Amino acid sequence: MHLRVRDYIFSLIALGFIVLTTSLGFWQLRRLAQRRAQNAKVIARLAQPPVPVRELTRDSAAFHYRRVLLNGVYDYAHEIRITDRIRNGSPGVNIITPLRIAGTDTAVLVNRGWVYSPDGVTVDLSRWREPDSVNATGYARPLFKPFPGSAALAGRPDAFRWVDVTAVRSRIPYPVYPMVIVLEGNPASHAQVPPRIPPPPLDEGPHRSYAIQWFSFAVVAAAGTFFFLRSAPTRSRNTSNRT
């Protein structure tokens, strides 16, 4: 088979594309396996009986999604809102209220739920106050910095883009655990109880379809290259005849 220089160049480019798309396909399969493993871990932790929050380890990887028992009193004077939280396509805020743990001088931040806010910031938190005493369950989430910049909103001391433990501790006059407890359930007995935040969906995401897509690109590129090289002698003869 007689190949011209441009045929070799095209083949090398096609080979590089095939290697790249195949690698991306296997990468998506690895992401799928990781997601399945994470889902299995979350399911197992949510299925465990709840433990008192004081018994949780300080290791964020170990307590993530661990169910806990909450027993204490809300401190509404120091609660904050997490802005720009979307629920079913509507803007709103998450209400984070410190809970003074019974028998200790330490509090834990409790995500009591989501409420609607037209601008994703402004809401009257006083209308969402539940009974002060708490005996409930929830699951733990670690605190981390998801975006660059400051968590606090300028001019709004109780509004944050995310829960920043350092910023929160600076406005709360007692120790705070480095975590957030998301309340479970969705009680409807009181109008002032905000809708609770459900656990994240434990689906497999788009990784399988992305993997199939990348492998399809690789197959198409391989088939196209094969037929291109197979037709090289014919194209070479036609070029020679024209000259």
| Same domain flag for 93 and 169 | yes
CB 239 within 8 A of CB 11: no
Q: Are residues 97 and 179 in the same domain?
A: yes
Check residue 110 and give its pLDDT. Answer: 95
Nearest Cα neighbor of 227 from 66, 68, 51, 11 is: 11
Question: Is residue 145 in some structural domain?
Answer: yes
Answer whether residue 53 is part of any domain: no
User: What is the helix, strand, coil percentage profile of the chain, to 5?
Assistant: 40, 25, 35
Q: Is there a domain that residue 37 lies in?
A: yes
In a domain, 138, yes or no: yes
Asked if residue 23 has pLDDT above 90, the reply is yes
pLDDT value, residue 237: 54
Residues 179 and 221 in one domain: no
From 183, 212, 230, the end of a domain falls on 183
Could you tell me if 72 and 149 lie in one domain?
yes
Q: Is residue 196 part of a domain?
A: no
**In whole angstroms, what is the distance from residue 129 CA to residue 9 CA?**
70
> To the nearest whole number, what is the mean pLDDT of the chain?
84
Checking if the pLDDT of 104 tops 80, the result is: yes
> 6-20, 32-46, 147-161, 204-218 — which is least confidently predicted?
147-161
Question: Is 161 part of any domain?
Answer: yes
Same domain, 102 and 133: yes
In which band, very low, low, confident or very high, does the pLDDT at 165 lie, cut at 50, 70 and 90?
Answer: confident
pLDDT in tens, 184-241: 877 655 567 888 888 877 888 899 999 999 999 999 999 888 877 777 555 555 555 5
Residues 155 and 120 in one domain: yes
- CA 42 vs CA 80, 159, 186, 192, 199: distances in Å: 27, 29, 20, 30, 9
Residue 217 lies in a domain: yes
Domain that holds residue 104: 66-183
pLDDT in tens, 59-96: 777 788 889 999 999 999 999 999 999 988 999 999 99
Tell me how many domains the chain contains. Answer: 2
On whether both 106 and 148 belong to a single domain, the answer is yes
Q: Same structural domain for residues 106 and 210? A: no
Q: Same domain, yes or no, for 209 and 176?
A: no
Biggest alpha carbon distance in the chain? 96
Structure tokens given for 38: 């994470």
Q: What is the pTM of this model?
A: 0.75
Same domain, 34 and 118: no
Residues 82 and 21 in one domain: no
What's the half-sphere exposure (Cβ side, CA atoms, 13 Å) at 80?
26
Average pLDDT over residues 151-174: 82
Confidence of residue 38 (pLDDT cuts 50, 70, 90): confident
Tokens linked to 189:
């007995």
Cα dihedral: 64, 65, 69, 70 (round 10): 70
Residues 33 and 101 in one domain: no
Crossing angle of the two packed helices 232-242 and 207-230, in degrees rounded to 10: 40
Whether residue 192 lies inside any domain: the answer is no
